[in-house]
Amino acid sequence: GRRLLYTDPRKFGRIELWARDCEAVAFKGLGPEPLSTAFRAEHLAQALAGRKSSIKQVLLAQEVVAGIGNIYADEALYYASI
């Protein structure tokens, strides 16, 4: 048989099962992941243009950059001296 193990000590995660054809719809509104080849600095610059929100709020906006949570946003801003 097969087993799926999942541990979430911080209690923030969840698991969802979808049919293959639903996957594209589920991720349609998300921005590119920062480590993907689809991510470009120009995309981030466009997302920042004209916004009055903080850079951290933009990084946390999943429609701008997918997958960045609070911890990674803090680390990125720290290393960028922002």
- Could you tell me the residue range of the domain that residue 38 belongs to? 29-79
Residue 65 lies in a domain: yes
| pLDDT for residue 74 | 97
Average pLDDT, the chain: 89
Query: What tokens does 72 get?
Result: 């990674």
20 has pLDDT over 80: no
Nearest to 33 by CA among 66, 69, 74: 66
As for how many domains the chain has, the answer is 1
Kindly report the CATH number assigned to the domain that includes residue 53.
1.10.8.50
Residue 19 lies inside a defined structural domain of this protein:
no
- Of the pLDDT bands very low, low, confident and very high (cuts 50, 70, 90), residue 1 is confident
**DSSP string spanning 31-43?**
---TTSTT--HHH
Record the pTM: 0.71
* Residue 72 scores a pLDDT above 90: yes
Locate tokens 């429609």: which residue? Answer: 63
Residue 18, in any domain of the structure:
no
